[in-house]
Amino acid sequence: MKLKRKINLLENIAISKVSIINALKVALLVGLILNVINQFTFLYNYEFHKINLIKTFLTFLVPFFVSIYSSASTKLKFFAWDISLFDRDLKSTSCNKNEISIKKGENINKCPTCKSKLRLK
Ligand SMILES: [Zn+2]
């Protein structure tokens, strides 16, 4: 798979509604826990003015992007034996004879000639 195509596919998965909603949930929960751990002394002593807002924001941002990345990479791995997430042209991994165009939502089958996996052209 060409790098540009792979990045494009990752972007498409990453910006999907489900990925973003899940990442927001993870960011809220994990970010909250990490912020309480990191700034516990300030919270415990009511020294709210000492809380670093940039660190607070980054503590929410990191789990958000970790979640987006992991969901995108997981979906990318499942692509070869799953349902296609996008319209695409596929080619056999071993014989290179068959080029098959499939639409979003269709099953990704194996090559009709050699029965090997199909990959992006
Ligand atoms: Zn084949």
User: For 92-104, what is each residue's pLDDT tens digit?
Assistant: 878 877 788 888 8
Give the pLDDT of the chain (121 residues) as one tens digit per residue.
Answer: 567 766 776 677 667 778 889 999 999 999 999 999 999 999 999 999 999 999 999 999 999 999 988 888 776 665 545 677 778 888 887 887 778 888 887 877 778 888 887 777 7
Write out pLDDT tens, residues 56-75.
999 999 999 999 888 887 76
Q: Cα(1) to centroid of ligand 1, in Å?
A: 17
- Which sequence spans correspond to the domains of the chain? 3-81, 88-120
Question: Mapping DSSP to helix (H, G, I), strand (E, B) and coil, where does residue 120 land?
Answer: strand
Give the distance (Å) from ligand 1 centre to CA of residue 97.
6
Nearest alpha carbon to residue 26 among 60, 76, 50, 72: 60
Q: How far is the CA of 11 from the centre of ligand 1 (A)?
A: 29
- Residue 95 alpha carbon to ligand 1 centre in Å: 4
> Exposed e or buried b for every residue in 26-61, given b needs 16+ CB within 10 A?
bbeebbeebbeeebeeeeeeeeeeeeeeeeeeebbe
Tokens 């269709």 belong to residue: 106
